[in-house]
């Protein structure tokens, strides 16, 4: 699951992406900043490994990694407006240093 949040005062094409997915033995929720560009009707994302903000928000290790658990973990974070606001502020500060 992915959710995009704009980064005000950084760039019109830069977004904070909160992504939750199943790993080999865990469920991960990560945040990363990407540049989104549109070319010939397609949308692309680019991410520079050492230059763009990234953060692991949550890792859980349930016995079964079901889609319901992935959805619940993702939703519990993105519906917490204070946590999202804090994460956006952290990403903006990363680019202003």
Model pLDDT for residues 37-68, shown as the tens digit of each residue: 988 989 999 999 889 999 999 999 999 999 99
pTM of the shown model: 0.86
Within 10 angstroms of residue 23's Cβ, the number of other Cβ atoms is 11
Within 10 angstroms of residue 28's Cβ, the number of other Cβ atoms is 16
Nearest to 43 by CA among 52, 34, 53: 34
In Å, the largest CA–CA distance within the chain is: 44
pLDDT band at 14 (very low <50, low <70, confident <90, very high): very high
Share of the chain above pLDDT 90, in %: 82
Strands 54-60 and 27-39: antiparallel
């Amino acid at each position: 699951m992915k959710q995009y949040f704009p980064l005000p005062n950084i760039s019109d094409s830069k977004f904070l992406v909160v992504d939750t997915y199943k790993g080999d033995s865990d469920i991960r929720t990560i945040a990363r900043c990407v540049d989104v560009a549109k070319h010939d009707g397609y949308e692309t994302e680019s991410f520079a490994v050492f230059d763009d903000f990234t953060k692991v928000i949550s890792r859980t290790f349930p016995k079964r990694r079901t889609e319901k658990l992935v959805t619940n973990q993702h939703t519990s974070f993105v519906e917490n407006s204070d946590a999202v606001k804090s994460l956006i502020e952290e990403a903006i500060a990363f680019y202003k240093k």
